[in-house]
Amino acid sequence: MIQKAVEHLKSVDSVLEWHMEKIGPVSVKARRVAVFQSLARAIIYQQLNSKAADTILSRFKALFGDGYFPSAERVLAVHPEQLRSAGLSRPKANYIRGIAERAASGSLPTLKECDKLTDAEIVQRLTEMKGVGRWTAEMFLIFNLGRLDVLPVHDLGVRRGFQIAYGKRKMPEPEQLERFGEKWRPYRTVAARYLWRSVDSL
């Protein structure tokens, strides 16, 4: 599937093709971890650089003593202030608890249920929860489910990667990137992966 995606993208976009040749293969392997874990992790990473988010994630897991990502039930068993001691803001701690409550009550979709839903249906279901916006839902689709046609046009890394790859003076607006990315269908996720790598290759 990834080879088919690469061939398609190269056939429709010569600029992207040049960068793909320069960067080499990218992985689109899905994590396939529990939905609660994936969403909670994404919330921790919201609006933070990777280094800061990695530190908070490590502290968050350390609260539970065994080094593993905690279950929803274990998160609900600790006081919100304990979550904040890991470096989470008060809103993020509340968002994670809210998702944990849904998971514990069985109202959070499972991975198997997600597999039967379209990208748009999953985004709609997830963004009904506080703290889960479109970006978080798209990260879930890309990294946890491995969906191949997701273009997170509001992601600063993707926009910056486009600016670099296409030699633009400024980052594209989300609407501009959305229109441009139509040519990459049905493999927009793979294009996004290469745009992220364009930033990393600086």
In this predicted model, what pLDDT tens digit does every residue of 62-113 receive, in sequence order?
Answer: 999 888 999 999 999 999 999 999 999 999 999 999 999 999 999 999 999 9
For the segment 47-64, what is each residue's pLDDT rounded down to a tens digit? 888 899 999 999 999 999
Residues with a catalytic annotation lie at: 155
Long-range contacts of residues 198-202, Cβ cutoff 8 Å, at least 24 apart: 198/19, 198/23, 198/161, 198/162, 198/164, 198/165, 199/157, 199/160, 199/161, 199/164, 201/22, 201/23, 202/164
**pTM greater than 0.95 (yes/no):** no
Q: How far, in Å, are 2, 9, 108, 168 from residue 14 at the CA level?
A: 18, 8, 42, 16
